[in-house]
Structure 1
Amino acid sequence: MSAAPDPKVIRTPQPLGITEDRVDDFTYWVRAVLELGLQEPELRVKYRDVIRNFFRATVADRRANPGGDDLISALLTATDPDGNPVDPEIVVGMANLQLVAGIDTTWSSIGSALFHLGTNPEDLERLRAEPELWPGAIEEFLRFYSPVTMARVVDSPVTYGGIDFVPGDKVLMNFPGANHDPDVFEDPDTFIIDRAENRHVAFGAGIHRCAGSNLARLEMDVALRTFVDRIGDFSVQTPIEVSWASGQVRGPRILPITF
């Protein structure tokens, strides 16, 4: 008879159960889908399939070797409200979402915040002097830089703003534009680090709101506080040299910092 687990032991979480030596692969795959593939559609299609096929193989392995301590294994033992097992292809889709939605979005958000602090020393100094401002500052980073833009396909006829949309039309959900709407935000094009009212839609809204919004906030909070604490004063000396990714996810890719 095996011994009961020690409740004092803290177990290291294994979100997808994938070893860290795949980090470079994952980084390139996601860039190929969300960034590089914007100019090379065949690259986007190729790596979209690479990611899904990787997770199909991973799901097949977990089904053949159950009992793992990771999200994929847990999903494969889960059931829907009617008691039916979760379709393995849905598990593939969930794992795909975890990877694609959890990499570029977060590093773009953190990078945009570092760009801001490196070009606005007064805000950097306030955060160092008033750490209680961090939660609100993170919301303002999200509002002001709005790293994600989503799209939808129209499924039924609708008229909005004098425009007729028909099934099959593709519609861009302009989250950055909404987050700079003067009817919603006072002085919307000014970054206000202690903005009191900030009901932004950087994570979307409604039933399609970002599933990882709270995790993203936590990652930003830990990364930015740690960077500022360890580096201290820093600056982006030549903002013109900063390169930005465009498209569905926007954030700095080359950010020369001096400290």
Structure 2
Amino acid sequence: MTSTDTSKSAAPSCPVLNFDYTELKPAGTWFEKWAETGQEYPYFLNQFGQGFWTVANYQGALEVLQDPHTFSSSAIYVQDPNPVYKWIPEMLDGDEHRRWRQLLAPHFSPSAVQRMAERIRERARGLVESLAERGSCDFMADFAQLYPTSIFLELIGLPVEELPQFMEWEHAALHGGQSDDNDAMISAMMMVAERFNALIAERRAEPRDDLFSKAIGFEIDGRPVTDEELCSFGLLMFLAGLDTVSVTLGWAFRHLAMNPDDRDRLVSDPGLIPNAIEEFMRAYAIVIPGRKVAVDTEFHGCPMKAGDMVSVPLAAAMRDPEAFPDASTIDITRTRNNHIAFGAGPHRCLGSHLARLELKIALEEWHRLIPDYAIPADANLLETGLTIGLETLPLEWNR
């Protein structure tokens, strides 16, 4: 990291750095990098791109995420402080956000999610059974990405036959932006929006028992929700609900492939899986939330002005030794684990119960049929920095 000139100025107590947090690196690099950075610089100004503040410790992350009056969710990517889009409900503030959450909460409650468990298990089992006899796979492409995408399609009411098309759009939308050419990403998002608009029209004409049909009946301040709002909600579901589960699965299975003792413990005692999942989400926190400063504030020595952007790398917060003993050690039996992998405050992830269930069932069904597996010795694993995720994860096992 190096210092350079910038239009923003930091107080003497707030360091000024410059590093590209989106770089492609060898797998595991970013978690170590963020852990080191957070310990040395818990608060700093990063001059990369347009420049933004970074809060890289656990307590500071809580303060930002739990203070929506100072730190607005109207912009969530630090390089895009004035977005033309508004994903619902993530990019809403105040009463509008609260009303949407109240309408959506019953559909993502523990009881509502549990009613989906049998279908989710059927999907996981079918995918694992289709792979078991092969003896090898790219775990990311062949399981981790297919699994949550198929569940997403069923949840919103689209046929599973559209899975290949959505997988193509998902890859372009979520990973196309890693290159300088964003045309494929923009095109994919436009096509997803078109498909959602068509689905909305279909459900208005003929409602069914799916989430979009139910959302069509929502009212905000006594008025029906608009097609534009419904489409924005669908886009958030598409972006947030797919990549987070698949990427977390990638890190969990990489850890278990590299740590056979942990894997054997989960195989012999599946009751440990929920606890292990919490530790995987803590140790491999993949999301870097962004917030927009709503009012001028002095934050731990950093003079933040209204309109500035703030980055909260959860990978740094979750490896803060002041919050977690032996923070860089992955301990699947860790008991005190107040992680914030799902965020904190009013914008905490609405789909956390569904994500936990998907992760739990995936680990159970995979290890029921494929209990012993490894990463090939010649594998070259890379991770992206923007959402810290594996590009590929080759696995092999005895058939």
TM over 0.5: yes
Q: Which has the higher contact order (CA 8 A, sep 6+)?
A: 2
Match of 2:188 in 1: 47
User: Aligned to 1:73, which of 195, 201, 213?
Assistant: 213
Q: Is the 8 A contact 2:379 2:394 kept in 1?
A: no
Give the C-alpha shift of residue 56 in structure 1. 2.1
CA distance in 2, matches of 1:45, 1:83: 34
Q: CA deviation at 1:41?
A: 3.1
**Structure 1 residues 138 and 33: alpha-carbon distance in aligned structure 2, compared to 1, 3 A threshold:** same
Measure how far apart 1:239 and its partner are.
Answer: 7.5
For residues 146-178 of structure 1, the C-alpha deviation after alignment (integer angstroms, 9 at most, x for no partner) is: 122222222222221222222332221211111
Residue type at the aligned position of 1:78: F
Distance in 2 separating the partners of 1:147 and 1:77? 34
- Length, aligned pairs only: 247
List aligned pairs for 1:141-220, cutoff 5 A: 141-220=280-359
Matched, 1:20 2:160: yes
Percent identical pairs in the alignment equals 34
- Partner Cα distance (2:160, 2:254) in 1: 27
Cα deviations by residue, 1:23-46 (Å, 9 ceiling, x for unpaired): 122223222222221323333333
Q: Of 160, 174, 177, which residue of structure 2 is paired with 1:37?
A: 177
Contact 1:148 1:250 in 2 (8 A): yes
Please list every run of 5 or more consecutive structure 1 residues that lacks an aligned counterpart in the other structure: 1-9
Distance of 1:145 and 1:49 partners within structure 2: 31
1:90 aligns with 2:229: yes
Bigger drift between 210-219 and 238-247 goes to 238-247
CA RMSD of aligned residues (A): 2.2
- Alpha-carbon contact 2:273-2:363 (below 8 Å) kept: no
| Equivalent position SS for 2:228 | helix
- TM superposition shift of 1:100: 1.3
How many angstroms apart in 1 are the aligned matches of 2:378 and 2:249?
16
In the other structure, the counterpart of 1:6 is none
Q: Secondary structure at the match of 1:43?
A: helix
Aligned amino acid, residue 160 of structure 2: E
Question: Match for residue 263 of structure 2?
Answer: 124
The residue that corresponds to 2:32 in the other structure is none
Q: Could you tell me how far apart the structure 2 residues matched to 1:145 and 1:28 are?
A: 26
1:166 aligned partner, one-letter code? K
Give the Cα separation in 1 of the matches to 2:307 and 2:379.
Answer: 40
Separation in 1 of the partners of 2:345 and 2:171? Answer: 27
* Maintained 8 Å contact 2:248/2:286: yes
The DSSP-based 3-state class of the residue aligned with 2:336 is coil
DSSP 3-state at the match of 1:46: helix
Q: Is the 8 A contact 2:157 2:212 kept in 1?
A: yes
Cα drift, residue 246 of structure 1: 3.1
Aligned pairs for 1:228-243 (under 5 A) are: 228-238=367-377, 241-243=380-382
CA–CA distance in structure 2, aligned partners of residues 186 and 253 of structure 1 = 30
Alignment TM-score, normalising by the size of structure 1: 0.87
Cα displacement (A) at 1:240 = 5.1
Instruction: Describe the shift of the 1:163–1:107 C-alpha distance in structure 2 as closer, same or farther (beyond 3 A).
Output: same
Structure 2: distance between partners of 1:128 and 1:239: 26
